[in-house]
Structure 1
Amino acid sequence: MTYGSSTNPLVATDVSGDGQTVTVTLAQRDAPATMDLVPTTSTVALPAGVDVEETVTVVLGELGSVELGGKTAPAGVVWLPAQ
């Protein structure tokens, strides 16, 4: 979940994998945005070759990264702590 403008949210636009590291590219449209702050969710499929039984590192650009220790989160849910 990311937070931003309701008319121009930060959403996942690409996902790539390198072993057990998954990088999710987040972007906004190049358009005017309202000055509100709302949550937005994005879902992505894991790249081929990622073993969900092992620890997976998910990199979310400037927002940081999180490690998931195998099947510890339901249905691939990723939470990134606020910084």
Structure 2
Amino acid sequence: MQKAPRRNRPRRSLPLQLAGHAAMGTALGLGFCLLLALTGNPDLINMIAYNPEPKTTALMLISFVALTFAAGATLTGMVLMTLEET
């Protein structure tokens, strides 16, 4: 049994690939925040609930975690793509 030949697909540009990695990292960060909220950590819930502006605190927590995951995924993707080229 012979293997089917692989199609030579054109490679996407580096910025487009990095944007994809950033989107995946953002999705992972949002999922992690959802997991944090669902596990019901009392310290986290108290920090948000007893703050004068709980919506702002929750939004800052979500955005910080999502942006951290996005930056990590983007940098990791850039390293892996540059290693792949060499």
**Could you say which structure has the greater relative contact order, defined with CA pairs below 8 angstroms and 6 or more residues apart?**
2
When normalised by structure 1's length, the TM-score is 0.24
Q: Which structure shows the higher strand fraction?
A: 1
Structure whose CA Rg is larger: 2
When normalised by structure 2's length, the TM-score is 0.24
